Amino acid sequence: MKKDVVLSIDHLSKKFGKFEALKDVSFDVNKGEVFGFIGPNGAGKSTTIRILLGILKASGGTATVFGQDVWKDSVSIHKRLAYVPGDVYLWPNLSGGEIIDLLLKLGGAKHSARTDELIKQFKLDPTKKARAYSKGNRQKVALIAAFSTDSDFYIFDEPTSGLDPLNEEIFQQNVLKLKQEGKSVLLSSHILSEVEKMCDRIGIIREGQIIETGSLDEMRHLTRTVIRVTTSEQLSELHNQPGVHGVESGTKTNEVTFSVDSEYLDNVMKYLAGKGITALQSTPPTLEDLFMRYYNANGKQVKEVGSHD
Amino acid sequence: MTNLFAKTGFLARFYFKKDRNKLIIWAVVLLMLMVSIAYKFGDLYGSQKQIQAIMPTLRSKSMVSLFGTLGYPASLHIQTANVFAQEMVIFMAIITVIMNFGLAVSGSRGQEDNGVIEMIRAKMVGKIAPLAASAIEIIIINLILGVLYGAGIQAANMAESDTNGDWLLGLSMAAVGIMFGVFGLLMAQIADHSNNAMILSYFGFAIAYVVRMATDVTNPDYTWWSPIGWLEKTSPYHGNNWLPVVWMIVLTIILLGLTFYLNLHRDLGSGIISSRPGRQRASATLMGPVTLLMRLERTTIIAWILGSLMLGASYGSIYNSIGDILKTNPTMQQVFGKAAVDSANQGLVLNFSATIAIVIAVVATIPAIQIMLKLKSDESKGWLELINSKPVSRIKMVCSYSAVAMVTGIITWLVGIGTLFLVGNSTLKSSQQIDGAKILATIWTYIPAILVMMAIAMLIIGWLPRFASFVWLYTAAGFVIMYMGGLLKLPDWTKNVIPFGWVNKVPVKNIDWSVFTWMLVLFVGLMIIGWIGYRKRDFQTD
């Protein structure tokens, strides 16, 4: 094992009876890195994470955290790990404050000034019984317990799905703080702006398979840049250029909007330059575009508006 | 929304659909019990000789305290149907009440706890429609059962049974079920959580039951004070008195009105008794799975221990009226001498103690199994996911839950059986008292039986977690076998189905230490096998 790899997953698979929840999942999370784990509901994100926690037993493949087997050595792994589940269920009769303290004690930690600070930041009322908490407040309880634990590896499973934008911001600040401290984070999400903002690398999972991993920059080449251009000459041949999609005329004369596959960008720019560019605006691909390309139903080609005619 | 009851019918149909498996299992079990026993009674107690043999037992204080008395005069020419009614009425009522509390509390407060009612109420649904639908579900299932009882008992055609009595028995059972079901709904308005609603419901039932027992043993006229006692006052196949059924209906209507009133005058999610706000910080004692479990279950644990105490005290308090040979036959002392009478009296007391010991042992088993099964239900509810991500091993979880279950079961047992003997002996003359050795033998004998029951729960949690609740069916079957086996003349082997049947009948007989030892070994073995399954399986959240 390389020294700087915190999590290593190799051809992990998981079957529930006949259903194959995970077919082939492999990726690494390096030390000091925030890794975004994205995919739609039911793609296998939570199943993967539960295997990493030793809650589920893998059907095949291996997964190690800190170089230790996630199933056999779960207890010793958990000493250096913090986790926030996607659906936080709390004992209805305990108050949030009691649960935070209990979780800290179970991990051998203590309620600290940092805990109080987090409770204040997230604006949690710790005296309320857990049954009275909304989903967002239950998530806050788990987040406060996780952030006030001094761990080496943090796993967040869709942690902000119930939080309001203010608390989401606080969550992001705290993750960035962990990153500055050199901690490693696995962040599963389907909120792309969140992942885009925080993650060094991402892995995309669909139907139990990792279909792409890499940095956001590396992935951008897989997607299309949207270009709005106004030229002095007519662009009648534009839609026949390789890699060009969805050509639409704008409101002004000779103004068009289209998207272009990143690898053909050079070609297209040369073509446009020959037509006399008067205005040009390019929008970098967002994770949204990436996502949409990978997640269209059943993996078929995305149906595009006015595609390649 | 002006119509408070809008969509009640639709919801009621939906509830039936949602609960159909539960309802079918309950209905089949209850019907089988009632009707198959009615059929069997023709063989068991068909002849006068058989009836004469059982009557002294049925009229004994211990049986009256357990099953009640239907007020048949001594002069009545007792027939098969009378014996049947005498044995079945209170027994079936207990099981019926358990079913109805479950339906009522989980259907109303339980659904409110998990947010379903909130979703329903957001629709075009009347304010009390969900509650009314629960009430309708309870009324209909009990009426169906009542009619099937009536028809089934009539078809069994026991000697001296009459149509009036058959249907009175069946429909009074429906009425008692509806009455306690609605009481459960009322408690679900008062408590703000289904656990608390369940505890309040059983507390109310326990009071009714204890009042019935105490009055039955001392003076049955006062049994009118207990709603459960009304059932006895119907006196099927003798008086065929429908008045108590009318009383039950009246009380049901009052309770239902109160329930609707409270429901309309409270906020969704709150109760009349509301929980206090919690602590800001955990106390120093809340530090791990064991203390967590004790903190969460303390009300349940205390309730069981108190219940067991009450049970022991109330059965103990009638010890002096059991050995009443002198009262019934004053010449006996002159004929046999004082010592012989004392020993005959003590024989009766010992037999009584042996019967009650099993009841208390089963009662002590319930919280032990309940806490053991929490290892599975907490997992299903997702409460353990956070613990499982902490450095807490699976063996530690198993040990924590089983330790709390074991200690609770044993304490409940010790308190119940200890109170029974303590109070019992205090009512007896010193020459008739049960000595310490016999008491200790009784205490030791049932501890491994309670533990084995708990270990069976662990075994299922480890290997067949989805069937965890079948342990309850097994416990219930065991209870029927031990409680009714003798009266039903079940074959002896049936007692071997359940650990309570493996032990000697203490304190009449002495403790068998070899049985004691191998049952403890079995307990440890089952726990280990259960743990092996638990260790290697997936954890699942529903």
DSSP per-residue letters across B18-83: HTHHHHHHHHHHHHIIIIIHHHHHHHHT-SHHHHHHHHHHHHSHHHHHHH------TTS---HHHH
Q: Which two structure tokens, joined as six digits, stand for B160?
A: 């001296």
CA angle B195, B199, B204 (to 5 degrees): 150
Tally A–B CB contacts below 8 A: 112
CA distance A299 to chain B (A): 29
- Option in B195, B393, B536 nearest A75 (CB): B393
Measured CA to CA in angstroms, residue B25 lies from A7, A25, A162, B20 at distances of 48, 43, 39, 8
Enumerate residues 151 to 210 of chain A having a beta carbon within 8 A of any beta carbon in chain B: 155
Look-up of token digits 């310490």: B436
The residue of chain A with its CA nearest to that of B282 is A98
For the record, the structure tokens of B144 come out as 């169906």
Helix, strand, coil % in chain A, rounded to nearest 5: 35, 30, 35
pLDDT per residue rounded down to tens, chain B (542 residues):
468 888 899 999 999 999 998 999 899 989 988 998 888 888 888 888 888 877 877 787 777 888 888 888 877 888 888 889 988 899 899 999 999 999 999 999 988 887 788 888 888 888 889 999 999 999 999 999 999 999 999 998 888 889 999 999 999 999 999 999 999 999 999 998 888 899 899 999 999 998 998 898 888 889 999 999 999 999 999 889 999 999 999 999 999 999 999 999 888 878 877 767 888 898 888 999 999 999 999 988 998 999 899 889 888 887 877 766 555 555 666 666 677 777 777 888 898 899 889 999 999 999 999 999 999 999 998 999 999 999 999 999 999 999 999 999 999 999 999 999 999 999 888 888 899 999 999 999 999 999 999 999 999 999 999 999 899 989 988 888 887 787 788 888 888 899 999 999 899 999 999 999 999 999 999 999 999 999 999 998 87
Compute the distance between CA of residue A246 and CA of residue B51 in angstroms, rounded to an integer. Answer: 94
**Residue A227 β-bridge partners:** A258, A282
* Rounded CA separation B397/B109 (Å): 29
Residues of B in contact with A107 (CB under 8 A): 390-391
Strands of the sheet containing A224-231, edge to edge, are: A244-249, A255-261, A224-231, A277-283
Q: How far apart are CA A50 and CA A87, in angstroms?
A: 12
Place of tokens 């000789």: B49
Q: Which residues of B touch A134 (CB under 8 A)?
A: none
Side-chain half-sphere of B298: how many Cα atoms within 13 Å? 9
CA dihedral A110, A178, A47, A76 (to 10 degrees): -50
Interfacial B residues in 92-131 facing A (CB < 8 Å):
113
Structure-token pair, residue B87: 């044995």
CA-nearest residue to A71 within chain B is B536
Q: A-chain residues within 8 Å CB-CB of B385?
A: 55, 85, 89
Pairing of strands A255-261, A224-231: antiparallel
Q: Cβ-count burial of B89 within 10 angstroms (0-12 exposed, 13-18 middle, 19+ buried)? A: buried
What HEC string does B222-271 produce?
HHHHCHHHHHHHCCCCCCCCCHHHHHHHHHHHHHHHHHHHHHHCCCCCCC
Helices (H), B464-512: 470-484
- Residues 109-128 of chain A whose Cβ lies under 8 A from any Cβ of chain B: 111, 126-128
Between CA B480 and CA B485 the distance in angstroms is 7
Test mutation, B113, B273, B389, B538, chain A, max A CBs within 10 A: B389
Q: What is the CA radius of gyration of chain B?
A: 24
**DSSP at B435:** P
CA distance B497 to B514: 19
The predicted model scores a pTM of: 0.82
